Each structure stands twice: as structure tokens, then as C-alpha cells.
Amino acid sequence: MVCPLCSEQKYMTLSQVDVAVLADRWKLNFGFDPFVGKFTEKTIDRRQCVDCALIYHSPEFLGDADFYAQLSKHDWYYEAEKWEFHRALDVIKSARPETLLELGCGAGEFLLKAATAVNYSLGLDINPDALEAARKRGLNVRQDDIEKLQEKFDMIVMFEVLEHLYRPSQILQALAGVLNPGGVLLVSVPNPDGYLKDVDLALLDMPPHHNTAWKKETFEFCARKLGLEIVRYETESLRYVHYRGLLSSLIHRETKNKYLRKVQQLIAILMAPVLFISGGNKIVGQTHLAVFKKSI
């Protein structure tokens, strides 16, 4: 398998995970096995491309519509408020775009906040149920293919979408193509150099949920490849709920005795608020973003 971003064949193997272990964790945490009957390989490699620094998984395996239907049963999965939403609104205030496109708009949580700040906004998504919910909110959304879109935009946003795609290179090229000269493209993704690097087994940051992970160096590679300039880069601070998950993961990894582990987990729950305020909130969090600008 070649790198899905730059097609380079040279890579480093960062880790290898047993699919049976993943399946058990999915059943324990989410109540279903996304691999059964759909994936026959016994292991999945986590690789890093030597050219563009993209982290990707081999073999590829991404969830289907049924997989996301199962996940969406959990109330926390689709967030109405995200750190990157407010950063994007800041960009709208400064860039003052006339037209806005969101790729992967879902039910329109961000579009609802931004639609009245521009003259024309459009959301694209592949989920018909989400699009119907967005339309009921009065939002302009469609199920069009970005690579066939004829319109052009002053600002394009994509919140935690790239890591789910099989063809990220083609999608990025299509987005650059529909961006007006002087326009901005905002991309947010999970940060592999944030707290996630210390999590023992981040189920939602690997197949079948995520296929890729995007480092800052990968953003810089994309800017060069697409002929764009990075004008803003930011990292999210660690959220408290993620801090508790990090503590739990570190204890699980370092303590083999299950009884001692339970005691340590209880202590961690009690101490987490104090530890978070005294320094845990300085840890780099889950998400980072880059704002790319197209030359005039």
C-alpha cells in the first residue's frame, strides 16, 4: 500500500495492533464489533510516510453507513459545540468572506452559526439523514460530489473529515480548485502529537473510524503541494473529559495488577480535578487546525 496522500512507498512502521483485540475493545466500549464479517486481516499496521509525514493504516478499512449509524446512537458523537467552530468564526470575522462552503456539514451545527455572516453558504455531506435535519433548519445543503462542484468560494471549512477519507489527496486538490483567489481553507483534524500519542489504544483514532492522522509537517507538505500558504496554525488545549481518559489509559498501560489498577483508577478519578487545574490543562489537546490561503 502506498501513502494515500503523496503515493510514496517508503514508510516507518510505528505500531501493529491485533484486530481481535480491537474487536473486543469495540464490543466492550461501544456494544458492537465493526470487523465481524467485513474484515479478515489479523493485524493492522500504523505507518508514517517518510515524505509527507502522514500517518496511515495498512490495510485500509473504513466504516460503512451502518457503522456510523451505530456510533451516532451515542449522544456525544456529534457535538454541537467544538473548539474549531469558534476558531473558524474568528477567521470569518477577519477574512470577511462573501461565500462559504463546508465539506462534511452533518446536520449543520457550524453552518447554523455561520450562515448569516456570509451572503451565500453551502454544506455538503453524504449522510441523507443529516442533510434532511440540516434542511429542516433552513440550511442550504446538498449531497454533491466535491470533485464535480462548479461553484467557487471565498472560504472553505472542513472539521475532522480528512481522517475518515480513502482519497484525501484528491479531495484536497478539489477543494483548492473551488477556492477563489485570496480565499481561505480551514482544516481541523485530530492531533497525533497531542495527548493521543500517550493513549494506550485510541479506538476512535484508528480503523474503522480513522484511516489517517495529520501532523503539522503534513499540513506544511499540503501547502507546498497545493500552492497555498499557511497563515494560521493552532492547537486545542486538553479538555477535562479527555484528561480523565488519559489518566485512565496511562494507569492501564503501566499497572499490570488488575486490583492495584482499580485502586489507582479510583484515586485518579478523585484527584483529576485538582491535577487538571494544576497543570493537566496545559497539555496539548485532541484537535489542531491550519488555515491555508490561496494567492491572489
Separation of alpha carbons 32 and 74, rounded Å: 13
Phi, psi at 202, each rounded to 5°: -85, 90
Q: Residue type for 291, please? A: V
- 51: in domain: yes
Strand partners, 288: 189, 235
- 22: in domain: yes
Total domains, the chain:
1
Q: Residue 47's domain spans which residues?
A: 11-71
- The per-residue b/e assignment along 134-163, b for 16 or more CB within 10 angstroms, e otherwise, is beeeebebeeeebeebeeebbbbbbbbbbb
> 258-277 and 240-254 are packed helices; what angle lies between their axes, rounded to 10 degrees?
150
Q: Residue 144: CB partners within 8 Å, gap ≥ 6?
A: 124
Task: State the DSSP string of 48-117.
Answer: EETTT--EEEES-----HHHHHHHTTSTTSS-S--HHHHHHHHHHHHH--SEEEEES-TT-HHHHHHGGG
> 216-226 and 168-177 are packed helices; what angle lies between their axes, rounded to 10 degrees?
50
pLDDT in tens, the chain (296 residues): 899 999 999 999 999 999 999 999 999 989 999 999 999 999 999 999 999 999 999 999 998 878 887 887 777 777 778 999 999 999 999 999 999 999 999 889 999 999 999 999 999 998 888 899 899 999 999 998 888 898 999 999 999 999 999 889 999 999 999 999 999 999 999 999 988 887 778 889 999 999 999 999 999 999 999 999 999 999 998 877 777 777 777 777 777 787 777 777 787 777 778 777 777 777 888 899 999 999 98
- Coil, strand or helix at 289: strand
**Which is it for strands 153-159 and 141-142: parallel, antiparallel or unpaired?**
unpaired
Whether the model clears a pTM of 0.95, i.e. scores above it, the answer is: no
- 134: in domain: no
Separation of alpha carbons 111 and 175, rounded Å: 18
- 31: in domain: yes
Per the CB < 8 A criterion, the answer to whether 25 and 200 are in contact is no
Separation of alpha carbons 103 and 122, rounded Å: 9
- Extract the C-alpha cell encoding 62: 473504513
- 168: in domain: no
The secondary structure element, H or E, covering residue 141 is: strand 141-142
- 45: in domain: yes
- 21: in domain: yes
- 58: in domain: yes
